[in-house]
């Protein structure tokens, strides 16, 4: 049952997986929120854990950076390990003027400059979208927590260093924030007939020159973690 990237056996992984890009954030979630935790993967230091949150089995696993990396790990979770739901919990850069540092953004859709969709040979442009049941559960959890959050379109970029400096073009289309994983996650879920959602915390505002520290990004963005966990146990 194991893959070149995951040493888990059948039954080791829960039906719902939280997926941060940073494997150390996966460990942080496991150690601070889950009970009866078992580590099922350490290949490439892409840690994966299964435990219980309020009595419900939940797994958490790193995805790495970028659409190619989360594309591999989420494909295997959906198609090899029979995972039904993946909730990405990560960081993003604010694009919209009204999105502030440390705000939570729930990705209803994910625009992209990636060619990831070419593999499906579609006769047009595909619009990657979140699963409604995960989206609605996350919104309810965010409202119950009283978090400052926004719901809307993310931009999943292929590039971290973009020579074209194109954020202003996405801003005029009311894209809320830029990140690097949601679009391929949403496409993998759609192709597998499964569910996916991206919840991100704004770690920087590139158009305004604002940023948080690396340690904050790894350990202190708890609102999105708790929103994702609360949404997960309602499924």
As a whole number, mean pLDDT of residues 186-215 equals 94
pLDDT tens, position by position, 135-174: 999 999 999 999 999 999 999 999 988 887 789 999 999 9
Q: Which CATH number covers residue 149?
A: 3.40.50.1580
**Does 204 participate in catalysis according to the annotation?**
yes
Confidence of residue 213 (pLDDT cuts 50, 70, 90): confident
pTM above 0.85, yes or no: yes
Q: Taking a C-beta distance cutoff of 8 angstroms, is the pair 105, 153 a contact?
A: no
**Residue 11 counted as domain residue:** no
Cα 233 → chain centroid: 17
**Residue 2 counted as domain residue:** no
Please identify which of the residues 12, 22, 103, 204 carries the catalytic annotation: 204
Q: Taking a C-beta distance cutoff of 8 angstroms, is the pair 59, 47 a contact?
A: no
As a whole number, mean pLDDT of residues 179-205 equals 98
pLDDT at 217 over 90: no
**Residue 5 counted as domain residue:** no
d(CA 44, CA 46): 5
- Residues paired with residue 110 on neighbouring β-strands, in sequence order: 154
């Amino acid at each position: 049952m194991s893959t070149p990237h995951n040493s888990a056996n059948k039954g080791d992984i829960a039906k719902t997986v939280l997926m941060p890009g940073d494997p150390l954030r996966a460990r942080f979630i496991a150690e601070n929120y889950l009970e009866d935790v078992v580590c099922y993967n350490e290949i490439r230091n892409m840690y994966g854990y299964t435990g219980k949150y309020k009595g419900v089995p939940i797994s958490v696993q790193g995805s790495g950076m970028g659409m190619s990396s989360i594309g591999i790990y989420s494909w295997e979770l959906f198609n090899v390990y029979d995972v039904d739901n993946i909730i990405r919990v990560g960081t993003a850069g604010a694009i919209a003027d009204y999105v502030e540092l440390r705000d939570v953004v729930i990705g209803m859709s994910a625009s992209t400059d990636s060619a990831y969709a070419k593999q499906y040979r579609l006769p047009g442009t595909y619009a990657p979208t979140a699963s409604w049941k995960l989206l609605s559960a996350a919104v309810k959890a965010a409202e119950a927590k009283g978090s400052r959050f926004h719901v809307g379109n993310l931009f999943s970029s292929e590039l971290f260093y973009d020579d074209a400096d194109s954020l202003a073009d996405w801003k005029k289309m009311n894209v809320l924030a830029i990140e690097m994983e949601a679009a391929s996650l949403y496409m993998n879920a759609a192709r597998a007939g499964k569910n996916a959602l991206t919840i991100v915390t704004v770690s920087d505002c590139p158009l305004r020159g604002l940023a948080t520290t690396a340690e904050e990004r790894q350990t202190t963005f708890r609102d999105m973690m708790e929103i994702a966990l609360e949404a997960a146990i309602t499924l």
